[in-house]
């Protein structure tokens, strides 16, 4: 008994067939062909694309106490992404904001500390863009930065480069 299966493609038919009988030649015992076909519909999420980040923006070296703003562009505009730091999910806090506006996805740290150094990734699953952040030096005036302190007026918000602070659009 011979058998074969065609490989389905989106919207195509998938068929299986079998031959029964001893020969497929002319004569008194002609084999017969049995076929079973079904419609196969393959649904998939739209491909998310992250625009490559220019090399000059991939490395950000800042002094402690200064802001860090990482930005990636995605399409389609409603595409979900996850920000990662050193491979671990970034959780928005009172010292770090994750923002979405149109095709733009931002991670904003208004007052960077050395512990913010690392590799940050704008991850869309099949596509991603990465940044290396190096925070060095001390805070201006020898001030001490208390991470995790209660929110203040300096709480992070969405910042658009060259446009100042916009309404805070934190992602869950």
Indicate whether 172 belongs to any domain. Answer: no
Instruction: For residues 58 and 106, state if they share a domain.
Output: yes
**pLDDT at residue 146 in the model:** 52
Region 142-148 average pLDDT: 53
Average pLDDT over residues 114-133: 96
Averaged over 96-117, what is the pLDDT? Answer: 96
What is the pLDDT at residue 137? Answer: 85
Q: Radius of gyration (Cα) for the chain, nearest Å? A: 28
Predicted confidence at residue 38, as pLDDT, reads 72
Query: Same domain, yes or no, for 18 and 73?
Result: no
Same domain assignment for residues 27 and 73: no
SS3 for 58? Answer: helix
**Which domain CATH number covers 154?**
2.60.40.10
Residue 103 within any structural domain of the chain: yes
Q: Is the pLDDT of residue 104 over 80?
A: yes
Residues 16 and 4: their CA atoms lie apart, in Å, by 6
Give the per-residue pLDDT at 39.
72
For residue 73, is it within any domain?
yes
How large a percentage of the chain has pLDDT more than 90?
50
CA–CA separation, 51 and 102 (whole Å): 14
The answer on pLDDT for 116 being more than 90 is yes
pLDDT tens profile 29-86:
555 655 566 777 676 666 899 999 999 999 999 999 999 999 999 999 999 999 999 9
Query: What's the pLDDT score for residue 74?
Result: 97
In this structure, are 24 and 74 located in the same domain? Answer: no
Q: What is the pLDDT of residue 60?
A: 96
Q: What is the mean pLDDT of the chain?
A: 74
Pairing of strands 128-136, 59-63: parallel
Residue 14: pLDDT over 60: no
Query: 23 and 87 share a domain?
Result: no
Nearest to 50 by CA among 76, 25, 28, 30: 76
Boundaries of domain holding 84: 49-165
Is 81 inside any structural domain? yes
Inter-residue contact 18 to 1 (CB < 8 Å): yes
Amino acid 77: pLDDT? 94
């Amino acid at each position: 008994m011979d058998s074969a299966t065609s490989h389905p493609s989106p919207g195509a038919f998938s068929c299986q067939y079998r031959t029964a009988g001893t020969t497929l030649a002319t004569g008194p015992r002609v084999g017969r062909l049995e076929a079973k076909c079904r419609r196969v519909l393959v649904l998939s999420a739209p491909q998310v694309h992250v625009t490559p980040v220019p090399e000059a923006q991939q490395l950000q070296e800042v002094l402690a106490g200064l802001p860090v703003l990482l930005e990636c562009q995605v399409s389609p505009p409603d595409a979900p992404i996850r920000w990662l730091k050193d491979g671990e999910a970034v959780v928005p806090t009172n010292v770090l904001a994750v923002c979405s506006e149109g095709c733009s996805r931002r991670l904003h740290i208004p007052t960077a500390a050395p512990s913010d150094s690392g590799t940050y990734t704008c991850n869309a699953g099949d596509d991603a863009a990465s940044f290396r952040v190096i925070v060095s030096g001390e805070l201006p005036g020898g001030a001490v930065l208390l991470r995790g302190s209660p929110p203040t007026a300096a709480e992070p918000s969405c910042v658009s480069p060259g446009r100042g602070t916009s309404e805070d659009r934190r992602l869950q």
